[in-house]
Amino acid sequence: MLSREENELLTAVDNDTPMGRMLRRYWFAACLSEDLPQPGDDPIPLRLLGEDLVAYRDFSGAVGIMDRHCPHRGADLTLARAEDCGLRCVYHGWKIGTDGSILDTPNEPDFSRFKERISARSYPVEEHGGLIWVYMGPRDKVPPLPMLEWSFLDANQIVAHKVLVKCNWLQCLEGSIDSSHITYLHSDIIKSSPDGRTNTGQDFDPTRAQKTVEYLPSNDGHPRLHVEDTPYGFRYAAIRSVPEVEGRESNYVRTTLYIAPTITMIPDRPGFGTGPFYTPVDLTHTMMYVMRYRLGGPVDEEIVRSISGIRKGIDVEPDGTRARTPENHWLQDREAMRRGESWVGIPGIISGDTAIVESLGPIFDRSTENVGTADVAVVHARRLLLESLRISEAGGDPIGVGGEAIDYRALYPWEEVIPSDQSWQSHDPRAIRGIQERV
Ligand code: FES
Ligand SMILES: [Fe+2]
């Protein structure tokens, strides 16, 4: 539970708020590379951290992200023409470079030095892992890009998608670091194993890895959560008891990484990975990015999209808007629930996740909630963000930037059954993770 004031502090995104300033110390995904597939592509509108921007790819293939309105007299630059090394406004022909410099003012006299005194607001851009990243903070404090393991994979090993969620970014994030909901909300797809078979451990069959149902090796519905702070944020283990087999007690351990402020990494089947993370669009909208990837080979995009509920043109449009919205009650299928075919009546993991966080309202008031022991990681994330905010406002570096370098590529979550007398921190998951498949 948070006070109303803390809730307001944590959920903010605008540049004139403490959280808005802190968020601008990190890189965010601005859009997918496929949103701007070709050099010279038409500019597209973006809204990031409450700012209206335009993104385009010039003739050389470089991407620029800048203020949506022309620095001359405010024309909308989504109407502009992408050219060599810049974007040309169609109103009076001014040309703006990807770095915001004014390259040409053809309606001014030849001798004019006017353009040297002004510039457009533009932001540093990087392109990696099928995404275009943007940094909107102070130029003397640009941190390294979070190059997570999927950044190094071939395009056919990743399914990258974006989904627009109609609520504040913090409740989206809290959904991703909330392990106990998988046993309930996702029980149509992630089931407790009826026969002791698991999708982890030595008996893992990779040919089943892309099938639609995943079996958890435990039906323990109240996991114990252990949180461990790290330089990037924290990791936690959700520990579920496994029924005694041949006199041996064991635990099913599922770790999740929280990379501040909005990246999470969630366990997937051995050799696979899932990384949901979030870009605040504005106070009440969030773009969710989900990378589902396979370390050792191509993924079956059709199955991944079907499991997740993100089939192109059916569940989600190219701009991220979804067929299931609060207005149509997320098309919940009550008949399927009555027939016992579905727990929630909203098929697909991402469909369920996005519906449920939207159902909290545009900005959830956390002063009204009642958190329990299963919510330890969510509460920890809030504390960490509040502490980081205090440091940031005092002029220091928020968590994960400005300090020791972080080897993002080496970070990954895992899930496995381990003996109950072994600590999860001492377990080396690399073999079962399919580490040999890493590129
Ligand atoms: S408003 Fe863009 S060139 Fe004049
Ligand atoms: Fe979920």
Residue pLDDT, tens place only, 217-228: 787 888 899 999
| Better pLDDT: 330 or 59 | 330
Domain assignment of residue 221, yes or no: yes
Class of residue 13 by CB neighbours under 10 A (exposed 0-12, middle 13-18, buried 19+): buried
Domain assignment of residue 41, yes or no: yes
CATH code of the domain in which 113 resides: 2.102.10.10
Claim to verify: residue 386 and residue 430 sit in the same structural domain: yes
Domain assignment of residue 21, yes or no: no
Per-residue pLDDT at 434 exceeds 70: no
pLDDT for res 180 = 84
Q: What strands lie across the sheet with 95-97, from one edge to the other?
A: 81-83, 86-88, 95-97, 102-104
Give, using CA atoms, the residue closest to atom 3 of ligand 1: 92
Test site for ligand 1: of 77, 81, 87, 94, most ligand atoms within 8 A of the Cβ: 94
Claim to verify: residue 92 and residue 185 sit in the same structural domain: no
Claim to verify: residue 85 and residue 162 sit in the same structural domain: no
> Which ligand has its closest atom nearest to the C-alpha of 91?
1
Packing angle of the helix pair 301-308, 349-358 (nearest 10 deg): 30
Rg from Cα positions in the chain? 23
Q: What angle do CA 229, 235, 237 make, to 5 degrees?
A: 120
Give the nearest ligand 1 atom to 107 CA.
3
Note the pLDDT tens digit of each residue in 344-355. Answer: 999 888 999 999
Q: Can you give the residue range of the structural domain that contains 214?
A: 149-437
Give the nearest ligand 1 atom to 73 CA.
1
Test site for ligand 1: of 92, 104, 112, 118, most ligand atoms within 8 A of the Cβ: 92
Q: Provide the domain count of the chain.
A: 2
Claim to verify: residue 103 and residue 249 sit in the same structural domain: no
Give the nearest ligand 1 atom to 94 CA.
3
Bridge partners (DSSP) of residue 234 are: 229, 258
Claim to verify: residue 157 and residue 305 sit in the same structural domain: yes
pLDDT for res 19 = 98
Among 88, 114, 141, where does a domain finish? 141
pLDDT for res 212 = 56
Confidence label for 430 from pLDDT (cuts 50, 70 and 90): low
Give, using CA atoms, the residue closest to atom 4 of ligand 1: 92
User: Ligand 1: distance of its center to the CA of 108 in Å?
Assistant: 11
Claim to verify: residue 234 and residue 316 sit in the same structural domain: yes
Please give the average per-residue pLDDT across 45-56, as a whole number: 98
Please answer whether residues 163 and 330 qualify as being in contact, where contact means their C-beta atoms are separated by less than 8 angstroms. no
Claim to verify: residue 395 and residue 246 sit in the same structural domain: yes
> Which ligand has its closest atom nearest to the C-alpha of 107?
1
User: Ligand 2: distance of its center to the CA of 275 in Å?
Assistant: 12
Share of the chain above pLDDT 90, in %: 64
pLDDT for res 201 = 41
Among 141, 171, 188, where does a domain finish? 141
Alpha-carbon gap, residue 152 to 439, rounded angstroms: 8
Per-residue pLDDT at 197 exceeds 80: no
Claim to verify: residue 309 and residue 170 sit in the same structural domain: yes
User: Ligand 1: distance of its center to the CA of 80 in Å?
Assistant: 10
Please answer whether residues 217 and 193 qualify as being in contact, where contact means their C-beta atoms are separated by less than 8 angstroms. yes
Please answer whether residues 174 and 1 qualify as being in contact, where contact means their C-beta atoms are separated by less than 8 angstroms. no
Ligand 1 neighbour 70 (Cβ under 6 A): yes
pLDDT for res 203 = 39
Please give the average per-residue pLDDT across 326-330, as a whole number: 97
pLDDT for res 177 = 94
Claim to verify: residue 267 and residue 410 sit in the same structural domain: yes
Measure Cα distances from 286 to 78, 149, 289, 347, 358 in Å: 21, 24, 10, 21, 10
Measure Cα distances from 394 to 2, 107, 330, 344, 388 in Å: 22, 46, 43, 45, 10
Per-residue pLDDT at 329 exceeds 80: yes
pLDDT for res 417 = 86
Domain assignment of residue 15, yes or no: no
Pairing mode of beta strands 190-192, 214-216: parallel
Contacts of 13 (CB under 8 A, 6+ apart): 19, 20, 23, 49, 50, 169, 280, 282, 283
Alpha-carbon gap, residue 324 to 304, rounded angstroms: 18
Ligand 1 neighbour 54 (Cβ under 6 A): no
pLDDT for res 301 = 87
Q: Residue 436's CB: how many other CB atoms inside 10 A?
A: 10
Cis peptide before 261 (omega within 30 of 0): yes
Per-residue pLDDT at 81 exceeds 70: yes
Give, using CA atoms, the residue closest to atom 1 of ligand 1: 73
Claim to verify: residue 156 and residue 69 sit in the same structural domain: no
pTM of the full structure: 0.92
Ligand 1 neighbour 81 (Cβ under 6 A): no
Q: What is the mean pLDDT of the chain?
A: 89
pLDDT for res 275 = 87
Domain assignment of residue 71, yes or no: yes
Please answer whether residues 59 and 84 qualify as being in contact, where contact means their C-beta atoms are separated by less than 8 angstroms. yes
pLDDT for res 220 = 82
Per-residue pLDDT at 207 exceeds 60: no
Pairing mode of beta strands 125-128, 190-192: unpaired
Domain assignment of residue 17, yes or no: no
Among 98, 124, 141, where does a domain finish? 141
Ligand 1 neighbour 87 (Cβ under 6 A): no
pLDDT for res 29 = 98
User: Ligand 2: distance of its center to the CA of 181 in Å?
Assistant: 7
Per-residue pLDDT at 110 exceeds 80: yes
Per-residue pLDDT at 194 exceeds 70: no
User: Ligand 1: distance of its center to the CA of 73 in Å?
Assistant: 5
Q: What are phi and psi of 195, to 5 degrees?
A: -125, 20
Per-residue pLDDT at 244 exceeds 80: no
Please give the average per-residue pLDDT across 257-282, as a whole number: 91
Claim to verify: residue 69 and residue 181 sit in the same structural domain: no
Domain assignment of residue 165, yes or no: yes
Give the nearest ligand 1 atom to 105 CA.
3
> Which ligand has its closest atom nearest to the C-alpha of 356?
2
Lowest mean pLDDT of 52-56, 95-99, 272-276, 429-433, name the range: 429-433
> Which ligand has its closest atom nearest to the C-alpha of 72?
1
Bridge partners (DSSP) of residue 63 are: 57
Q: Residue 230's CB: how many other CB atoms inside 10 A?
A: 16
Please give the average per-residue pLDDT across 129-152, as a whole number: 94
Q: Which of 212-226, 231-245, 274-288 has the highest mean pLDDT?
A: 274-288
Claim to verify: residue 164 and residue 127 sit in the same structural domain: no
Alpha-carbon gap, residue 230 to 225, rounded angstroms: 16
Please give the average per-residue pLDDT across 371-399, as a whole number: 96
> Which ligand has its closest atom nearest to the C-alpha of 177?
2
Domain assignment of residue 6, yes or no: no
pLDDT for res 208 = 43
Give the nearest ligand 1 atom to 89 CA.
2
